[in-house]
């Protein structure tokens, strides 16, 4: 469930940072990976106007062209465009690159130190009332910044905060995660595989055998164990996409979740 909206989204989605920058076979492979992921139920796709200067959005647009209704499309606007007018223009440019009429989740990529949050949120609400955006989210916002963004809106609710979270990057557990849980704001975990740096050989073989899971699947299951978290691993390889799509078919028990948490502390 996304925030308090009642909207059902896939617990494991797909990130797209670094995708769409190449041409030829590499690009074709990325396109196929995204399309396979959608087919396998990972319909939540995350991109951003700043990824490859829009090239990631263009790739995503191509991948979803015939399957728009199977996709929950999330993109982000960069802080340089948080002025009211700039933000409206950025959204139009993203819609154009994505080849869609609306964005499901429009996120503020990072907090801005320059633009008043009230002006930014006014533009975000305007996009909702124009039907260009369905839901509003933030990314890399602290608890205070999230509260301020929420209080700057009169008609809409913030549904999500996209932040770094993996078994080896757990800063959000002290404050942000409990806050989001209490306020029913979905946490979108980015870099859930810590960009491939997790020491997967630390996971007990016995546990892998018991769940019939690969180490990566266990890591994605772990990161989405707390209630409000969904994860957006990036995978440009087809076999990785297939592996990730099966991560939450079986859920870790509370006991195993706790044991793994301790092991990586
Ligand atoms: P990540 O998802 O933690 O890791 C990506 C790496 O893991 C890639 O090298 C990928 O390889 C590999 N991988 C994926 N599935 C695998 C599998 N089953 N087995 C082995 N390796 C696997 O890192 P990330 O890209 O930083 O984060 C994910 C997404 O979060 C980004 O793409 C982006 O959409 C978002 N993000 C947002 C922010 C923000 O500020 N909001 C910041 C960073 C990231 P292949 O590509 O070769 O398959």
Per-10-residue mean pLDDT, the chain, length 265? 94 97 95 98 98 98 97 98 98 98 98 97 98 98 98 97 98 97 97 95 97 97 94 97 95 97 95
Cβ atoms within 10 Å, residue 17: 17
Q: Which listed residue (51, 135, 165, 190) is catalytic?
A: 51
- Confidence (pLDDT) at 1: 87
- Confidence (pLDDT) at 227: 81
Does the CB atom of residue 16 touch ligand 1 within 6 A? yes
* Residue 45 to residue 233: CA distance in whole angstroms: 10
Does the CB atom of residue 248 touch ligand 1 within 6 A? no
3-state secondary structure 25-75: HHHHHHHHHHHHHHHCCCCEEECCCCHHHHHHHHHHHHHHCCCHHHCEEEE
| pLDDT tens profile 126-160 | 999 999 999 999 999 999 999 999 999 999 999 99
- Confidence (pLDDT) at 158: 98
Tokens 């609400």 correspond to what residue? 125
User: Which pTM value belongs to this model?
Assistant: 0.98
Does the CB atom of residue 29 touch ligand 1 within 6 A? no
């Amino acid at each position: 469930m996304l925030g308090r909206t009642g909207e059902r989204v896939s617990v494991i989605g797909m990130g797209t940072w670094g995708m769409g920058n190449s041409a030829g076979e590499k690009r074709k492979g990325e396109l196929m990976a995204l399309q396979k992921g959608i087919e396998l139920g990972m319909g939540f796709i995350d991109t951003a106007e700043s990824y490859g200067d829009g090239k990631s959005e263009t790739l995503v647009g191509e991948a979803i062209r015939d399957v728009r209704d199977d996709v929950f499309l999330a993109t982000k606007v960069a802080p340089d465009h948080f002025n009211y007018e700039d933000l409206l223009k950025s959204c139009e440019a993203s819609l154009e690159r994505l080849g869609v009429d609306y964005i499901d989740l429009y996120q503020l990529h990072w907090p801005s130190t320059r633009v008043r949050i009230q002006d930014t949120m006014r533009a975000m609400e305007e996009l909702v009332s124009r039907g260009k955006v369905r839901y509003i989210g933030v990314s890399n916002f602290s608890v205070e910044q999230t509260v301020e963004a929420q209080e700057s809106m009169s008609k809409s609710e913030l549904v999500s905060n996209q932040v770094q979270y993996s078994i080896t990057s757990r800063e959000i557990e002290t404050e942000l995660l409990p806050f989001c849980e209490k306020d029913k704001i979905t946490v979108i975990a980015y870099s859930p595989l810590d960009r491939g740096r997790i020491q997967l050989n630390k996971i007990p073989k016995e546990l892998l055998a018991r769940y019939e899971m690969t180490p990566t699947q266990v890591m994605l299951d772990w990161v989405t164990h707390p209630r409000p978290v969904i994860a957006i691993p990036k995978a440009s390889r087809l076999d990785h996409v297939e592996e990730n799509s099966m991560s939450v078919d079986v859920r870790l028990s509370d006991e195993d979740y706790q044991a793994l948490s301790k092991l990586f502390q």
